[in-house]
């Protein structure tokens, strides 16, 4: 059975100068199909450790949580090197998290070797590497 995932939120950080220290905007665009239905905003620490918490918090406090089918991220870090714990995020929200990567990640400790333009999907119970074919 194929499930339609037509309610999604995608997150990325806002621009910041290279010498910036402190908090950076974190913006989430909520879509229903191909229609933008909302925008979420929070702040994360530049090179900090609060990205997972802040993403989960802004989704949980939004009116969109009940309708969402998945969370999209462009890479696993925001605001420099504030790494999102994608497994913890998927478990906390009970939603799949899909990470789209532009560059080939170095999976020294992982079991998955993704190629350029690959997608990594994490659900509360599984992790998949979906290669761009």
* DSSP secondary structure of 14-25: PP--TT--SEEE
What's the sign of the alpha-carbon dihedral 84, 76, 32, 16? positive
pLDDT for 132 equals 47
Model confidence at 130: pLDDT above 60? no
**Domain locations in the chain as residue ranges:** 7-14+21-97
Report whether pLDDT(116) > 80. no
Output the pLDDT for position 129.
Answer: 57
Q: Is the dihedral of CA 33, 36, 37, 40 positive or negative?
A: positive
Q: What is the mean pLDDT of the chain?
A: 84
CATH topology of domain 7-14+21-97: archaeoglobus fulgidus dsm 4304 fold (3.30.2170)
Cα gap 64→80, rounded to integer Å: 27
């Amino acid at each position: 059975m194929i499930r339609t995932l037509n309610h999604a939120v995608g997150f990325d950080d806002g621009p910041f100068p290279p010498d910036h220290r402190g908090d950076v905007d974190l913006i989430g665009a909520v879509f229903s199909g191909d229609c933008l239905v909302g925008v979420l905003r929070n702040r994360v620490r530049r090179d900090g450790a609060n990205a997972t918490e802040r993403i989960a918090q802004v989704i949980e406090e939004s009116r969109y949580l009940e309708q969402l089918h998945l969370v999209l991220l462009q890479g696993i870090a925001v605001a420099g090197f504030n790494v999102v714990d994608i497994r913890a995020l998927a478990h906390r929200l009970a939603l799949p998290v899909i990470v789209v990567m532009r560059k080939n990640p170095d999976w020294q400790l992982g079991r998955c070797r993704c190629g350029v333009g690959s997608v990594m999907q994490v659900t509360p119970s599984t992790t998949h590497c979906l290669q761009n074919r």
